[in-house]
A and B are shown apart, each in its own frame.
Chain A
Amino acid sequence: MLRIRNLRCGYGGLEVVKGVSLHVARGEIVTLIGANGAGKTSLLQAIVGLLPPWQGSVTLDGRDSTGTPVWRGISHGVVLVPEGRQIFADMTVWDNLLIGGYRNPDRAVAIEEVLEHFPRLRDRERQVAGTLSGGEQQMLAIARALVARPRLLLLDEPSMGLAPLIVQAVFEIVESLREQGVTVFLVEQNAVAALGIADRGYVLDTGEITLEGDCADLSRNPEVKRAYLGKGYKEVWE
């Protein structure tokens, strides 16, 4: 569904994404894990057109969408849930969802369908979004994106700033998207949680993909264990 080849982008003279290639097939949950500053968010922004690519291509369903403006991307079914939720804090849950469906003429129906999967949001649909807990705000951000009926959902660090139990709840929702036929590209720093729900994964390190594979294999990879899963070694004798 999504294919990226040799994507390079950055800020000013600083190259942040250094020739990345990856793909996401229809119906898959694919994760991109990496440390702070690896270039994860920049890569996502380049995919949706928020950051102009210097080189390379982004193809969606065989159609070149390199550098396509964000608004056009949404009409092609690509929706980004940005880092740090970015909900409209002064508006109600319902109004946030309405904005998510701005380009969807069936938004009222879509909101009803989405709320079926988010009972906690239904209970709070008239509540001002800024008064929701962190986990609920993240759920709202995901729900708002789903109202646009995306074919490809891009999630940027949905676990950020959430307690472990809430992370689990959010990731259960992400995992359930598979059953709804939504393809997910999940960018995460929380490798344990991401590798636990995704089908395949990529590891981004200082702008380069260094590892890729099925999540079960990545979880066993010594470098992933060392760098992301907290399985360090006290003794090094080589």
Chain B
Amino acid sequence: MTIFDRRNETMRPDLVEQVQLERLQALLARLRRNVRRYADIVGDTQIDSLSDVSRLPFTTPDDLVSAFPYGMFALPLREVIRLHSNVGPGGKQLVCGYTNNDLIQWGRLTARQLVAAGVTSNDVLQIGFGDGFLAHSLGFMLGAELIEASVIPEDTSHIEYQLQVLGSYRTTVLITTPTNAAELVDLLHATKTDAQSLHLRSVILTRPVPAGLREDLETGLFARVQCCFGIPEITNPGFCVECEHGRFHVNEDQFLVEIHEGELVVTTLSREAMPLLRYRTQVACSLQRGKCSCGRTGAMVTPGDRLDGQLRVREMPLYEGQVADVLDKTEAAGQPFSLEISDKEVAISIEMSQRLFGDQMRLLADLREQIRSEFRTRLGIPAVVRYVAPMSSVEERDLPGQPASEG
């Protein structure tokens, strides 16, 4: 496999250290001058070596929430040309800003991943993630356009149409979510379509998947599968490059990574609009250094689970607290409920009460529809609603709870 940016991706470790120190010192100087929040907490701390970074304060997702919308920006808003929203702790909104240079750099970093996956200017790329992934797909667009591949940005809401595009446009590289890729495999089976009849060479997934699922997708789509790993507040895609040996090499010319009590902590070294110092990513991670036969010298990370209780339903991030917030917008506000959250849907069991109970079944059906609609529009995820007997009455009778109605 080829390497897009040989100078930076294969930089000698001693030079990486020099470049990181230079960029960290320059970053601190900018933060002191341009971001009041950092100026107060960084003070006069001097960094003489990378090990001194431990003397600097952390930045947490809560800091970004409290600085909403522009409190973390290091440049005036007129110099920020793009604003992306992300889901922060408890589902609260975060804003990430980008300058022209930030977007160009994002494209370059994404191009590193695409080239590592074998993408060239001869490829036809189909990018389709579905609702809520616009920022993600824009990153891939920037990288793909830099490589001068032919890009088809597609909406994944119609999986059959997506398959049709795969066939008729002779797509060679598909960039999508694991959920969508699995659905495509199912559709190929259902329609008895031979995956080899497609022209797919490579599938790039938006997040790491277990080895078993990767093999299933490779077999099902008859294409090589490669994964991305990134943090939306840092850069996603573009934080690291998965090489042909399945190792995630951090782009260390741009990001300084540490592991603090098992958590990945990242400092953005060159970002202009919204640099982040020692950002606690809330992702469990391990870090290895050493040689990789792919030639890249960047530290290798192995991402693990989220540490902040963030769940994923149909690829959309979800915090349990968001469920109560959405229910509060419906007639079921204040009703006791329990949850079962899977990769595919949120199953909500709402306890019945005198207030909800009436002589018309239609009212409960309308409420169920209202809740489904609110989940779809506010969180972008499907919800299944069940009505169950109140737990207090169940306990009194010492009987297991039985659903009153299946959703």
Residues of A within 8 A of B (CB): 3, 5-6, 19-23, 202, 205, 208-213, 217, 220-223, 233, 236-238
Q: How far is the CA of A236 from the CA of B75 in the complex (A)?
A: 12
Contact B25 A23 (CB under 8 A): no
**Among all A-B residue pairs, the 10 with the closest Cβ atoms:** A222-B79, A208-B29, A210-B29, A21-B22, A6-B48, A209-B26, A238-B76, A220-B101, A23-B18, A21-B21
Shortest Cβ gap from A28 to chain B (Å): 11
**Interface of A, helix, strand, loop or mixed by DSSP:** strand
B residues less than 8 Å from A5 (CB atoms): 18, 21, 48
Complex: A202 Cα to B19 Cα, angstroms: 12
| B15 at interface, CB cutoff 8 A | yes
CA distance A154 to B79 in the complex (A): 34
Q: How far is the CB of A80 from chain B (nearest CB, A)?
A: 22
Task: Name B's A-contacting residues (CB within 8 A).
Answer: 15, 18-19, 21-23, 25-26, 29-30, 33, 46, 48, 75-79, 99-101, 104-105, 270, 272
Whole-angstrom distance from the CB of B82 to the nearest CB of chain A? 14
User: When chains A and B are docked, how far (Å) is the Cα of A21 from the Cα of B17?
Assistant: 11
Can you offer 24 A-B residue contacts whose CB atoms are under 8 A?
A: A3-B18, A5-B18, A5-B21, A6-B48, A19-B25, A19-B48, A20-B25, A21-B18, A21-B21, A21-B22, A22-B22, A208-B25, A208-B26, A210-B26, A210-B29, A217-B105, A221-B101, A222-B75, A222-B76, A222-B79, A222-B272, A223-B30, A237-B78, A238-B76
B270 near A210: Cβ-Cβ < 8 Å: no
Tell me which residues across on chain B come within 8 A of A205, comparing CB atoms.
Answer: 29
CB distance from A219 to the nearest CB of B (A): 10
B131 to chain A, nearest CB (A): 32
Shortest A4–chain B CB gap in Å is 9
Q: Chain B residues near A221: list those with CB within 8 A.
A: 99, 101, 272
Give A21 to B22 CA distance when docked, in angstroms.
5
In angstroms, Cα B30 to Cα A212, docked, is: 11
Kindly name the residue among B18, B22, B270 whose own CB sees the greatest number of chain A CB atoms within 10 A.
B22
In the assembly, what is the distance between CA of A23 and CA of B29, in Å? Answer: 18
Roughly how many angstroms separate A222 CA and B33 CA in the complex, as a whole number?
15
Q: How far is the CA of A104 from the CA of B25 in the complex (A)?
A: 39
In the assembled complex, the Cα of A213 lies from the Cα of B272 at a distance in Å of: 12
B100 nearest CB neighbor, chain A only: A220
Among B15, B79, B105, the one with the most A-chain Cβ atoms within 10 Å of its Cβ is B79
Q: Is the CB of B26 within 8 A of A211?
A: yes
Q: Tell me how far the C-beta of B97 lies from the nearest C-beta in chain A, rounded to whole angstroms.
A: 12
In the complex, what residues of B have CB within 8 A of residue A6's CB?
Answer: 48
CA distance A223 to B272 in the complex (A): 9
Min Cβ gap B83→A in Å is 14
Q: How far is the CB of A210 from chain B (nearest CB, A)?
A: 5
Q: Which of B25, B77, B104 has the most CB of A within 10 A?
A: B25
A236 neighbours in B (Cβ, 8 Å) = 76, 78
> Nearest Cβ in chain B — how far from A162, in angstroms?
30
- Point out the residues of chain A lying under 8 angstroms from B18, CB to CB: 3, 5, 21, 23
